[in-house]
Amino acid sequence: MEMTPAPLLRLIVVADLKIARVKGAWDEFDQFLKRQAEVQIVAVDLGSGLDFASLRADLVVVLGGDGAILRACRQMGANQLPILGVNLGRLGFLADVSPTEFREQFARIQSHAYHVVQHLMFECVVTRGDGSSQSFLGLNEAVVSSGAALRMIDVRLAINGEPVTTYSGDGLIVSTPVGSTAHSLSSGGPILRQDLAAFVITPICPHTLTNRPLVDSADCTFTLTAPDAPEGTTLVIDGQIKLPLAAADRIDIRRAPVMFQTAKLPGSSYYATLHRKLGWGGQPNYGTRL
């Protein structure tokens, strides 16, 4: 019986050539892909800010670390495509395939032998005291930080309009499950399975020890205000977008209308990744430093 050929694999490649190690990896990667007959390169973004609005592809291959993936999924906006991260950074939870593993597994990738997992993203709306507003898409977390203020701040939390509590300390983190292994974890927050539909609220160095991390449904709207915010108070989204906050500003965080999509190769396991990356069997594996 005649075998049906595998469909053409359509790829978009994202690599920021301003980073020397990424540039070196791209040179090798480019040559490798040119030797693959059943691959169509739909587009390549080498740091110019590709417009994903009308692009269609099977995979977006991102060279770099988790930060590169955070930028890429935000860049996609409403057109979220499955991402396969090739880790050139240090502690990559999202970019968990090494360049060697990518080449070794490429026959499986080319035959579409991977599955796509969808993860919660958030929409962060900042409403200023004058009524103007801005909306941002995020994957990991939104952080209200005392930052350059160098003093304790009070952050009020309301959920679905109901006042919950005021956190006094260095700030407050609202994180997705994907972001639970990032800033939230370093501040004492819990690790959430990445496929949960929930947010975790983690105080940063709380002045009151009874203020502990809180987990609630992703169907809620989380409202943050800092009515006594000193100069230097900052909203940080995914560690990459930084906005100054004033006392009259309001932040609303809710489930985004799109989902982050990640491609998982056969044999991949979330707990195996935690075991490897967090050093639960020994020392943390920080990989290669950029």
Out of 11-20, 171-180, 269-278, which region has the weakest mean confidence (pLDDT)?
269-278
Q: What is the pLDDT of residues 221-248, one digit of tens each?
A: 999 999 999 999 999 999 999 999 999 9
Architecture of domain 121-257: Sandwich (2.60)
pLDDT tens per residue across span 109-156: 999 999 999 999 999 999 999 999 999 999 999 999 998 767 899 999
Q: What does the buried/exposed string (b/e) look like for 225-234 if buried means 16 or more CB atoms within 10 Å of the residue's CB?
A: bbeebbeebb
pLDDT bracket for residue 290 (50, 70, 90): very low
For residues 9-29, give the mean pLDDT.
Answer: 92
Dihedral Cα 197, 167, 191, 81, nearest 10 deg: 50
User: Which has the higher per-residue pLDDT, 209 or 231?
Assistant: 231
Phi, psi angle pair for 193, to nearest 5°: -55, 140
Q: Is the pTM of this model over 0.85?
A: yes
Instruction: Give the per-residue pLDDT at 205.
Output: 92
What mean pLDDT comes out for the span 86-90? Answer: 83
User: Among 3-12, 151-160, 202-211, where is mean pLDDT lowest?
Assistant: 3-12
Gap between the Cα atoms of 145 and 205, Å rounded: 11
Of 136-145, 185-194, 207-216, minimum mean pLDDT range? 207-216
Give the pLDDT of residue 276: 75
Q: How far apart are the first and last CA of the chain?
A: 50
Q: In the CATH hierarchy, which top-level class contains the domain 9-114+265-277? A: alpha beta
66 included as an active-site residue: yes
Residues 158/164, Cβ–Cβ less than 8 Å:
yes
Question: Where exactly are the structural domains of the chain?
Answer: 9-114+265-277, 121-257
Does the structure show a pLDDT above 60 at 104? yes
Check 45, 66, 238, 249 and give the catalytic one. Answer: 66
